[in-house]
Amino acid sequence: MKWIALAALMTATACISETEESAEMKGSETCDPAAFEFLIGQPKEALEGITTPEMVRVLGEHAAMTMDHRPERLNVFHDDEGTIIRITCG
């Protein structure tokens, strides 16, 4: 009986590790909009827990923003409801 419980525990642990690992693998440490396309249509809170570049700017669709160009910066645009609509670099 102990072996069955131990096997179940090991299987559950393997599933948890796999889920955490795959969550960390989403995104990119560099600004690559294609790596973040899966976020389009999701709430802006979906950015939490994924790999992102060091510089990330989250903006409303019509928000004022600085015009300095930083190719390593990820820009995430959302609509009034907070749904991500566009992702760019700069």
What's the CA dihedral at 89, 53, 60, 64 to 10 degrees? -60
What digits encode the pLDDT tens for the residues 48-86? 989 999 999 999 999 999 999 999 999 999 999 999 999
Q: Which two tokens stand for residue 78?
A: 């959302």
Position 25 scores a pLDDT of: 61
pLDDT digits over 28-52, tens only?
A: 999 999 999 999 999 999 999 899 9
User: How much is the pTM?
Assistant: 0.70
Residue 73, Ramachandran bin (φ over 0: left; ψ between -120 and 50: alpha; else beta): beta
Is residue 73 within 8 Å of residue 56, measured between CB atoms?
yes
Q: How far is Cα 31 from Cα 36, in angstroms, rounded to an integer?
A: 9
CATH of 27-89, one of 2.60.40.1840, 3.30.70.920, 3.30.10.10, 3.80.30.20: 3.30.10.10
pLDDT value, residue 30: 94
More confident residue, 75 or 3: 75
Beta partners for 58?
Answer: 76
Residue spans per domain, the chain: 27-89
